[in-house]
Structure 1
Amino acid sequence: MPRVERGEQFNAGVVLYCRAKSYVAARTHLDEAKLHALDPGADAAGVRAALSAVEGVCAGGAAAGQAAGDDAGRRFRWLIAPRSTVVQPGPVHTGLTSDPEAEVERLVELLVLGPA
């Protein structure tokens, strides 16, 4: 959301949580051309760092910072909490999958990368 006050936004990643498999993962991709079309002065490196931090929280370990000791569900809930920053979570959608790893890849292709 490059211009928070104007409500301009685009998808830059997907976070997927599967409680049954204690799985949480994020895949991100920053389309810098789209970012700069909405805000020519946007800090692409800062946005990329924020997206990387989301991936780090999902991965757990030292990259998750204070959330490192939390289970997958708590890390997911922390990530989807509303905030007024450039990188904001969108609405949560529910669904079922037996292969969360494949599903997160499918969703990032569909919702972030779009048609080739």
Structure 2
Amino acid sequence: MNDPKPFQYAVLRAVPRVERGEYVNVGVIIYCQADEFLAAALDINERRLLALAPDADLDAIRTSAESVVRGCHEPVGSARENTGLATRFGILTAPRSTVVQPSPVHAGVTRDPERTLAELLTRLVH
């Protein structure tokens, strides 16, 4: 039986000009403890970013967003206890003032975290 399991997620936002606070959603990161699942998916719409900020550094935005995806699969930073997925999710979703920022963390329930990630990407980013 595939019972519903709680999960947490955050939207990844590209903020090309941090001082203005304007952003474009570019990805989603999801964590489901019950399935030991941590993953992120991206869809960086360069046209939308350039409409918001014609001088946006698209390479920096892409590099920063891709580092979140990589961080889901390997330890990030130098914290000694950075091996657990819950810790890693916390590090990846910590508020920061950079070109790619996480939204506040939200919660839900899922039967299939991978499918939920794809659905959230479609609903919140596309």
Name the TM tier (shorter chain). Answer: 0.7 to 0.9
Amino acid at match of 2:87: R
Q: For residues 65 and 7 of structure 1, what CA distance do their matches in structure 2 show?
A: 25
Equivalent in the alignment of 1:100:
113
Does the alignment pair 1:60 with 2:60?
no
**Root-mean-square deviation (Å):** 1.7
Q: Is the 8 A contact 1:3 1:38 kept in 2?
A: no
Structure holding more strand per residue: 2
Question: Runs of 5+ in structure 1 lacking a partner?
Answer: none
Give the paired residue count: 111
Residue identity (%)? 45
Report Cα offsets for 1:52-75 as digits up to 9, x if no partner. 1000001227xx5647x5111111
Give the alignment's TM-score, normalised by structure 2: 0.81
More helix by share: 1
- Pairing of 1:1-116 with structure 2 (within 5 A): 1-60=15-74, 64=76, 66=78, 70-113=83-126
Unpaired runs of 5+ in structure 2? 1-14
